[in-house]
A and B are shown apart, each in its own frame.
Chain A
């Protein structure tokens, strides 16, 4: 749905994007995670060409945006919704006026606009608030207006620029739930950038981790979790690094109540002690990560058994 290839963006001597490739599939929620200054905001703004990349191409819904003239680009942008960290609502307009704004730009007639605005406000849970002014709303409500406005043109893609970063944790969850619902109900493809791992954990199907203008790691979250040594896994489960010599790190992606640990101790002649671990609920299901020390004559057999059970087993280097 979104395909960016070889994106570079330079401001003078500063390289904000250093050869970025991004592939967002239709109907998924794709998160770009990174610290501030990593280039994720520039990347997002290159997708709808708010920033024109120094090199590289951007294709959205099969259309190469970098090849378009001003007029066609504006028309293409009407099919790409965008929401913003600080909402970017017009204070001179009412809530309904803000949602109607993109429709006015598209030249939708007044009666049709009013019908559509009512529909959109209901979709985001703001029915009856159309006559209010943005400054009368809470942060979460403002973002709902932003979302309604972004959806006005029936976009196939929604870009989210740190949309929950200015919100408190409870409101963040409700906005994320709304985005997830729109993703499921409308089949909306969402590309979001964030510095919060929590956002990625709650809603994303795929993720790209950015640092210093490059994508360090990207892919479906379920796949990355199963990739030994992936940065995503390390960031979601903050165990002490490097792992102590002789320890084993187990990642299990199935039913967390599966009693593999006690089975291993019963079936094999090993002693097992737990150094640390946790279980996280991700969009695709629960994932647990456990660091243990496993000693005994059957150590290798026990590890093989764990692998057979579908666990990912990472052995730290032997004790010196």
Chain B
């Protein structure tokens, strides 16, 4: 395979991966962040202790975390059809990616929020801050470096999951590597895909680390 033949394949595949990962990251953030906050706030020693609710949420999160992605992806096909109307293609693949990543990120959010010192939270309570104010002005800003680091890990995991998109016609770099590198023995394309994925992950991880460091004032 020559470069002229590879480029028309690599370009769209990279964009498909970017689209899948980008959209699912956005939805993961929108759903996983509140879920992570809920896990901390409703905890036994949280701001609003509701242990039953916390246990229920924790159970749902654990179910999501215990399924291997490829199983989860197939298991939720009816749900995917309900949300996007189809089960194949790039857009349809965003649904299992998000469902797989939300519990993952929620746990990372939970861990980051627990790192915030109890004394700071109590100081805010002593100042007469409401629970909402404590979440918005203390927990989230203080945990921001951890939240960013967790999101970086999640994005990298999403890039990994997105390699399975080919099984549902979602396209992307992983699909390209399977169809050409593996099934057609195009070793050069395989190598190029591997290098490309490596570079993307390295750049994203470094960017995430840099942002987290900039936000940290410890």
Does A associate with B in a complex?
A: yes
A105 near B129 with CB under 8 A, answer: yes
Q: Is A53 an interface residue (CB 8 A)?
A: no
B217 near A105 with CB under 8 A, answer: no
Interface residue ranges of A98-131 to B (CB < 8 Å): 101-102, 104-106
* Distance of B137 from chain A, by nearest CB (Å): 7
- B contacts with A: majority SS: helix
In the complex, chain A residues whose CB is within 8 Å of the CB of B127: 77-78, 82, 101-102, 105, 149, 153
- Using A74-B129, A105-B127 as known contacts, say yes or no to A50 and B218 having CB atoms under 8 A apart: no
Q: Is A76 an interface residue (CB 8 A)?
A: yes
From A50, A93, A104, A106, give the contact of B126 (CB < 8 A).
A50
In the complex, chain A residues whose CB is within 8 Å of the CB of B192: none
Q: Is B55 an interface residue (CB 8 A)?
A: no
Interface residue ranges of A175-203 to B (CB < 8 Å): none
Instruction: Report Cα–Cα, A164/B165, bound state, in Å.
Output: 59
Write the chain B residue with the least CB distance to A106: B128
From B119, B142, B215, give the contact of A84 (CB < 8 A).
B119
A76 near B128 with CB under 8 A, answer: yes
B128 near A90 with CB under 8 A, answer: no
> How many residues on A have C-beta within 8 angstroms of the other chain's C-beta atoms?
29
Write the chain B residue with the least CB distance to A86: B119
B137 near A101 with CB under 8 A, answer: yes
**Range of interface residues on chain B?**
20 to 34
Instruction: Report Cα–Cα, A46/B127, bound state, in Å.
Output: 14
Q: Is B64 an interface residue (CB 8 A)?
A: no
Write the chain B residue with the least CB distance to A80: B126
- Using A88-B119, A88-B120, A105-B133 as known contacts, say yes or no to A75 and B128 having CB atoms under 8 A apart: yes
Q: Is A226 an interface residue (CB 8 A)?
A: no
Q: Is A91 an interface residue (CB 8 A)?
A: yes
Q: Is A253 an interface residue (CB 8 A)?
A: no
In the complex, chain B residues whose CB is within 8 Å of the CB of A74: 128-130
B141 near A93 with CB under 8 A, answer: yes
Instruction: Report Cα–Cα, A50/B129, bound state, in Å.
Output: 12
Q: Is A25 an interface residue (CB 8 A)?
A: no
* Distance of A49 from chain B, by nearest CB (Å): 9
Q: Is B187 an interface residue (CB 8 A)?
A: no
Instruction: Report Cα–Cα, A48/B120, bound state, in Å.
Output: 16
* Distance of A10 from chain B, by nearest CB (Å): 17
In the complex, chain A residues whose CB is within 8 Å of the CB of B125: 50, 77
* Distance of B38 from chain A, by nearest CB (Å): 19
B123 near A84 with CB under 8 A, answer: yes
**What are the interface flags for B24-67 relative to A under an 8 Å C-beta threshold, 1 for contact and 0 otherwise?**
00000000000000000000000000000000000000000000
B117 near A88 with CB under 8 A, answer: yes
Instruction: Report Cα–Cα, A48/B127, bound state, in Å.
Output: 10
Instruction: Report Cα–Cα, A299/B152, bound state, in Å.
Output: 85
Q: Is B122 an interface residue (CB 8 A)?
A: yes
* Distance of A36 from chain B, by nearest CB (Å): 16
A91 near B128 with CB under 8 A, answer: no
Q: Is B144 an interface residue (CB 8 A)?
A: yes
**What are the interface flags for B107-131 relative to A under an 8 Å C-beta threshold, 1 for contact and 0 otherwise?**
0000000000101101111111110
Q: Is A140 an interface residue (CB 8 A)?
A: no
In the complex, chain A residues whose CB is within 8 Å of the CB of B215: 92
From B122, B124, B137, B217, give the contact of A91 (CB < 8 A).
B217
In the complex, chain B residues whose CB is within 8 Å of the CB of A82: 123, 126-127
What 5 additional pairs, Cβ within 8 angstroms, besides A101-B127, A105-B130? Answer: A77-B127, A88-B123, A90-B141, A91-B217, A101-B124
Which A residues fall within an 8 A CB radius of B? Answer: 48, 50, 73-78, 80, 82, 84, 86, 88-93, 101-102, 104-106, 133-135, 149, 153, 159
